[in-house]
Amino acid sequence: MKDFFNIKLPKYVIYAFYVMAFFTLINSCNGCKANKENMRLRKEITELKSNTYNKEELNIRVKINNLESEKSTLHNMNEIVLQNVRPAKRINEIDLEIIELQQKLASLPNGEEK
């Protein structure tokens, strides 16, 4: 029994150390994969940030779309009902407002079309 503790114990401790070192090496490789994944995600986030609109630009684009929709509705209403008084005045006002908003949008720092 005395020989077991003196001879065998250090051998098992060394094997345990090697096993722990091996698992540490494997875990560090997983860390490399995680770092690569983080870099890929950071790149995607940067691309998304560059392709999004700021609040002012988005509000202008929404107004333009709403005005174009209203103009289309007026055209359709005009064609269906065939009123004596046509909504041409409002259609012209909408056209002028759309042009004004598009010019405002173009003057913004990131106002180019996306």
Mean pLDDT computed over 69-92: 70
pLDDT digits (tens, 9 = 90+) for 28-53: 766 677 778 888 889 998 888 877 77
Residue 6 has pLDDT above 80, yes or no: no
Residue 73 has pLDDT above 70, yes or no: yes
Residue 97 has pLDDT above 80, yes or no: yes
Amino acid 50: pLDDT: 78
- Type of residue numbered 111: G
Pick the closest to residue 105 from 69, 68, 71, 54 (CA basis). 54
Sequence ranges of the domains in the chain: 1-52, 53-107
